[in-house]
Structure 1
Amino acid sequence: MADIRDIEVVVFDVLGTLVDEPGGLRTAIRDAIPASGDALVDESLSLWQRHREREERRIGQGQRPYAGTETIDAEAARRVADHARLTDPAAIARLATASQRLPPWDDSVAALDRLARHFAVLGLSNAGRTALLRLSAHAGLRWHQALSAETVLAYKPAPEVYQLAIDAAGCPPERVLMVAAHAWDLRAARARGMRTAYVRRPGGDPPTSSDDFDRRFDRLGDLVTALTTT
């Protein structure tokens, strides 16, 4: 990082970076379909993830009007239910809200607490406003402000989502650090002038050799130490 002391605001991606999205969804699917084996759970998780990625992409390409994550997750839950022959309405309804009960990674809560003593800390998520509120409460994520892409009726990596964070930060983008476990997320943030830090997480999207992010970390605590001891 060119000069860490220039950072005023730290912005975190949430899904996958601070909470274990694949693990949480896998648990919810297994709970909804108790007799399912690993193969069916894996198939169902893949079905869910493909549906979400496809629909967010369609919205970004103007092929579908904006729909929030609660709508898309309900669609995904229905697809999983049909695939697994799940018919219990209560189980399907609970599965549809699984993304609001994702567990934090074991270092997320402590890292946010440490960092918030030194910097303004924002969450920036594709999760809808209500879903993000409930997810933050469930996982124990404490923010100075949590921003939902729903505010601008778009999904990352749309540039207006990152501009939302820059506007909330109230400082030049080069003084705002975007932290994510997804290289695609950081590429879009960098294109808006934000500083970037990659944190490795299971199931994340690692950088390629051509990615020019400011810093890369194996653990979230290493990032916090780097920011707070300079």
Structure 2
Amino acid sequence: MTEIRDIEVVVVDVLGTLVDEPDGIRAAMFEALPDIDDTTADELVALWQRHVEVEQERIGHGERAYANTEVIDAEAAQAVADRAGLDDPEALARLATAGQRLAPWDDSVAGLERLAWHFPVIGLSNAGTAALLRLNAFAGLRWHLALSSESAQAYKPSPEVYRLALDAAGCPPDRVLMVAAHAWDLRGAQATGMRTAYVERPVGDPPKPTDVFDGRFEGLDELAAALTAR
């Protein structure tokens, strides 16, 4: 267990770090398309995720004006519908909101609660403002503050997004800890001077040998235990 000291505020990523995004989208595929098999569902989830990744990267590179996740998820749902032959408008509309119904990992809710007894805790997500509100309610995630990258009109790892959390924290960046299951997210936080902690998840982006983070943990419960041990 890694020990991290001198932290005043904890900032936690949401998608993938606290909730199982691929599994939630996969469940929505079966709801919209009950006759598909596992292989087809996996292919459709991959199609959805590729669309989201590509469009967010295009926005980051200035190739597309900012669009929030509600817009991009609706585009991804339409791509899935076109591939799978889904022509039910109600089913398509519900599929488009799949990213708002993602289950938390087993340790997410309790880990957040433990952290929140000791630190101000901020959720920082690429999910749009309205989507993040509904996702937090669905997954039972409780924050002192939840921030959407929509407020910066950008997506992580753009530095403007991390500055939202730093401005809210009101303390030096080196006393703010960014927690994520994605090494690319932590690299973005490091670039703004934040401290970093990697939490292992099955769907995350593991660190490379060259990554140097302040801590690496097998789960949020282990991180919470390390930060709150006195």
Q: TM-score range by the shorter chain?
A: over 0.9
Query: Which residue does 2:155 correspond to in 1?
Result: 155
Q: Tell me how far apart the structure 2 counterparts of residues 136 and 202 of structure 1 sit (CA, whole Å).
A: 21
* Mapped contact 2:181–2:200 kept (Cα < 8 A): yes
Query: Which residue does 1:100 correspond to in 2?
Result: 100
Q: Tell me how far apart the structure 2 counterparts of residues 111 and 3 of structure 1 sit (CA, whole Å).
A: 16
Secondary structure of 2:123 counterpart: strand
Query: Which residue does 2:228 correspond to in 1?
Result: 228
1:61-105 Cα shifts (integer Å, max 9, x gaps): 111000010000000000001111011100000000000010000
Q: Tell me how far apart the structure 1 counterparts of residues 118 and 2 of structure 2 sit (CA, whole Å).
A: 19
1:132-163 Cα shifts (integer Å, max 9, x gaps): 00000000000000000000100000001011
Query: Which residue does 2:122 correspond to in 1?
Result: 122
Amino acid of the structure 1 residue aligned with 2:115: L
Shift of 1:3: 7.1
Query: Which residue does 2:90 correspond to in 1?
Result: 90
Query: Which residue does 2:214 correspond to in 1?
Result: 214
Structure 1: segments with no counterpart, 5+ residues: none
Shift of 1:5: 3.4
**Within-5 A mapping of 1:185-200:** 185-200=185-200
Root-mean-square deviation (CA), in Å?
1.2
Amino acid of the structure 2 residue aligned with 1:198: Y
Q: Tell me how far apart the structure 2 counterparts of residues 106 and 3 of structure 1 sit (CA, whole Å).
A: 23
Query: Which residue does 1:76 correspond to in 2?
Result: 76
Q: Tell me how far apart the structure 2 counterparts of residues 98 and 42 of structure 1 sit (CA, whole Å).
A: 15
Q: Tell me how far apart the structure 1 counterparts of residues 128 and 19 of structure 2 sit (CA, whole Å).
A: 15
TM-score when normalising by structure 1:
0.98
TM-score when normalising by structure 2:
0.98
Secondary structure of 2:5 counterpart: helix
Amino acid of the structure 2 residue aligned with 1:214: D
Shift of 1:4: 3.0
* Mapped contact 2:2–2:217 kept (Cα < 8 A): no
Shift of 1:40: 1.0
Amino acid of the structure 2 residue aligned with 1:9: V
Secondary structure of 2:213 counterpart: coil
1:8-56 Cα shifts (integer Å, max 9, x gaps): 0000000000000011001011111000011110110010000000000
Q: Tell me how far apart the structure 2 counterparts of residues 2 and 108 of structure 1 sit (CA, whole Å).
A: 19
Secondary structure of 1:5 counterpart: coil
Q: Give structure 1 regions of 4+ aligned residues with deviation exceeding 4 angstroms.
A: none
Secondary structure of 1:4 counterpart: coil
Q: Tell me how far apart the structure 1 counterparts of residues 97 and 49 of structure 2 sit (CA, whole Å).
A: 14
